[in-house]
Amino acid sequence: MMFRQTWIHAAVRKYQLILWRESPADLVQVYELTTHTYGLYSSPFVAIRYLLQLAEDEGERYLRAANILRAISYVNDLNGSADTIEEVRILKTELINRMSTAGYELLDDLPLDHMELPKPNPV
């Protein structure tokens, strides 16, 4: 899940505290949440804004990935298409590389080894 992978800057972690104790008799322990909180109204906005910034920061280096991040992504769903399997492989590699530079690990939902493009229908 993207929210759990988005790290919060250390300077603002003090505003996201978790108070915890195992039982009423225990002392309260204070923890700082280090990742983005999901379930808030702003959570989807922050996630989308982060993707747009990733596209902007290195858009020239990862052109295909930047186009996907800008145009056809929503929170933690990235969608795309290409005309050939080789183009899909390149796009997939760019997305994995770009997202990993920011600390995101993408799930490998696209097994390219067994993919076939449909044959054109005769007209």
Contact 60, 98 (CB under 8 A): no
What's the confidence (pLDDT) of residue 50?
A: 80
C-alpha of 40 from chain center: 17
Q: What's the average model confidence in pLDDT over 75-87? A: 77
What's the confidence (pLDDT) of residue 113?
A: 56
Contact 99, 106 (CB under 8 A): yes
What's the confidence (pLDDT) of residue 24?
A: 95
The rounded distance, in Å, linking the Cα atoms of 61 and 37 is 30
What's the confidence (pLDDT) of residue 31?
A: 94
What's the confidence (pLDDT) of residue 4?
A: 65
Look at residue 1 and tell me whether its pLDDT is greater than 60: no
With bands split at pLDDT 50, 70 and 90, how would you rate the model's confidence at 30? very high
What is the pLDDT of the chain when averaged over all its residues? 79
pTM over 0.85: no
What's the confidence (pLDDT) of residue 51?
A: 80
